[in-house]
Structure 1
Amino acid sequence: MTQPVPAVPPATAAAYVFAVCRHVDEDVLSRLPGITTAPVRALPFEQLHAVVQEVPVAEADGRSWTERLSDPHELERCARAHHEVVTAVAAHGPAAPMALATLYSSEERARQALSADVARFHAVLDRVEGRAEWGVKVYASAATDADRTAVPTRVPTGSPTSGAGRAYLERVRGTHRAREEGRRAALQAAEEADAVLRGVAAAARRLRLQDQQSTERHSAQVLNGAYLVDEGQTARFTEAVITLRQRTEALIELSGPWVPYSFAGEDGAHGDR
């Protein structure tokens, strides 16, 4: 008589994955709050470790996370907690950060999915070892935007051929010319900066430009670059940025060092060099 196959009990918790690394410090992980109240810990797979945290199944479905991350305060809390864990792991060795809200239905499912991608994880860890990400953003000079407010909002009365009308039109044309010249100069500065910094970096990527509202600036952004830099080249890289600032009226902003998020995916294998 055929024996019935015992039913597999459903998973009681989903697995949230922060990062993949080769080595973990359990003491460091135990002190990290993470996203939920469960402990942050290591999940071994294929000679690697995933840094994970349990999430109650009831809170792990896509709809729940969509609602959670649609709340600006909750989105900021989760993003900060995610970044804190990834940063702590990366401080002790190369780490491949996962995207925010990377969830699997169970630890076993996480292990299976990550194991299927093990070759890519090894390639990422080799790529980022001993390197950090630096961000460089270039904006059109503030003077260019100041010209934008120089055009009077009230059009003078009278014919365009009158003295007041001609002066107004000339002023408008002059402002438009100055704005275009400033933008061309900023674009040229961005191209120069990107070319120079790629010569120092191990890999580089151009990220999507941020709009003015998200950057809290009035100047137009013309470059949003990410550069993967060897630790031994950090001084040379930052000095290159200082030199570039001295050669242009465009605003050049440097940030970092960061965990190399921009180089953790397949499309970051060689940047966009």
Structure 2
Amino acid sequence: MLEKQQKMSNEVKGFYLYGVCSALKLERSREDIEMIEGIDSAEKAFFAPYKDIRAVVSEVSLEEFGSEEIERKAKEDLQWIKDKASRHDEVIKAAIKIDGDSLAIIPMKFGTIFKTKKNLADSLEKNYLRFKELFETLKGREEWSMKIYLKLRLLENGIKKTSVVIKEKSKELCSMPAGRTYFLEKEIDEMAAAEAKKSVSGYISVFLEKIKLLAEEAKENKILEKEITQKSEPMIFNGAFLVKKEKVDEFQKEIQKLRAEYEKIGFVFELSGPWPPYNFV
């Protein structure tokens, strides 16, 4: 026990930065933030104020959370990375809820660590004006994520019913002997598949044209593979939208309209949020 205490006392600590937010109501919320468990479960989160902003931080062991150690765990212990990244997000969400108003928070990427308080203070000073600009951009706005998946077979079947060329080909099947239809059926399937794939970008453009009217900013992100999404359908769009709070209901209703109109032909819409605005900082 004594050996463990000595090890803990000798441990070099750093400061893990979750995000930066306004310093308004700092005294009222100081105790609230100190109830939140940090990314290192042995430490609580706290505010590190600078002028009229505050950093949301907690102490961490540099032995466990050093950049080299995080890189090693990213290769060897993905579950640790997932758990800590999830805790990172939870702390940011908890910090947002403390003030209970339209608090803007600038989230930091996972693994942002400073070795000393001075390093942290220097970073806040250096980026102060940039942070103030971002507060104005993010104030009263929320980030929403929309992913679209495609049931390709459903879209292909719809094309077979609407394509003039394919319908003409299909008529030929009726006059052919049963044993000779295979190659024509295969040709029809290939034509429908090609037309379906060609039409996807056009559909996405239509969707975005409607959705972007209700968003302040939009950003397209990398398409995720099935191994990551754990879905049977391929992802065809992955985007983030910065939406004014007063327009969120209208934004959600527009997604619902798209679902009602396009899910029957194969497009699956997945809306989630609000999220910390990682995509707009």
Q: Normalising by the residue count of structure 1, what TM-score does the alignment of the two structures yield?
A: 0.80
3-state DSSP class of the match of 1:191? helix
Q: Does 1:127 align with 2:137?
A: yes
Match of 1:72 among 66, 78, 82: 78
> Of 31, 48, 57, which aligns to 1:52?
57
Secondary structure of 2:79's aligned partner: helix
Residue 42 of structure 1, CA deviation = 0.9
Identity %: 23
Say yes or no: does 1:114 pair with 2:124.
yes
Which amino acid is the alignment partner of residue 47 of structure 2? A
How many Å separate the matches in 1 of 2:181 and 2:32? 68
Secondary structure at the aligned position of 2:38 is classed as coil
Quick one: which of 101, 106, 111 aligns to 1:96? 106
Once residues 190 and 52 of structure 2 are traced to their aligned partners in structure 1, the CA distance between those partners, rounded to angstroms, is 60
Instruction: Give the total of aligned pairs.
Output: 239
Does residue 227 in structure 1 map to residue 241 in structure 2? yes
2:147 and 2:55 map into 1 onto residues whose CA distance is 32
Whether 2:220 is the aligned partner of 1:206: answer: yes
Give 1:77 deviation, angstroms. Answer: 1.2
SS state at 1:39 partner: coil
Separation in 1 of the partners of 2:57 and 2:130?
A: 19
- Following superposition, the deviation at residue 146 of structure 1 comes to 8.8
Tell me the C-alpha RMSD between the 2 structures: 2.3
Partner of residue 14, structure 1: 14
Q: 1:65-90, CA deviations, whole angstroms, 9 ceiling, x for partnerless residues?
A: 11233412211210111011101112
Give the letter aligned to residue 116 of structure 1: K
Change (3 A) 1:141 1:43: same
Name the residue aligned to 1:84: 90
> CA contact under 8 A between 1:94 and 1:130: conserved in structure 2?
yes
Q: Does the 8 Å contact 2:156/2:196 carry over to 1? A: no
- CA–CA separation in structure 2 for the residues paired with 1:28 and 1:261: 24
Equivalent residues of 1:140, 1:182 under 8 A apart: no
How far residue 18 of structure 1 moved from its aligned partner, in angstroms, is 0.3
Distance in 1 (CA, whole Å) between partners of 2:61 and 2:231 is: 40
Structure 2 counterpart of 1:150: none
SS in structure 1 at match of 2:258: helix
Tell me, in whole angstroms, the C-alpha distance in 1 between the residues paired with 2:243 and 2:90.
21
1:179-201, Cα deviation, whole Å (9 max, x unpaired): 23333343222111111111111
TM superposition shift of 1:164: 9.3
| Distance in structure 2 (CA, Å) of the matches to 1:83 and 1:146 | 40
**1:215 to 1:68, Cα distance in 2 relative to 1, 3 A:** same
User: In 2, are the aligned partners of 1:135 and 1:227 still within 8 Å (CA)?
Assistant: yes
Structure 2, unmatched stretches of 5+, are 1-10, 158-176
Question: Any conservation in 2 of the 1:41–1:52 contact (CA below 8 Å)?
Answer: yes
Q: Secondary structure at the match of 2:218?
A: strand
The residue type paired with residue 253 of structure 1 is: E
Please give the per-residue CA displacement for 1:194-248, whole angstroms capped at 9, x wherever unaligned: 1111111111111111112211222222211111111100111011111122232
The answer to whether the aligner puts 1:252 opposite 2:252 as a matched pair is no
Question: What is the identity, as a one-letter code, of the residue corresponding to 2:205?
Answer: E
CA contact (8 A) 1:194 1:225 kept: no
Which residue matches 2:166? none
Paired residues of 1:86 and 1:97 also in contact (CA < 8 A): yes
SS at match of 1:247: helix
Shift of 1:113: 1.7
Which amino acid in structure 2 is aligned with residue 256 of structure 1? G
- DSSP 3-state at the match of 2:279: helix
What TM-score comes out, normalization by structure 2 length?
A: 0.77
Aligned to 1:105: 115
Say yes or no: does 1:40 pair with 2:57: no
- Map of 2:8 onto structure 1: none
Residue 150 of structure 2 corresponds to residue 140 of structure 1: yes
Q: Which has the higher helix share?
A: 2
For structure 1, the 5+ residue unaligned runs are 1-10, 148-162, 265-273
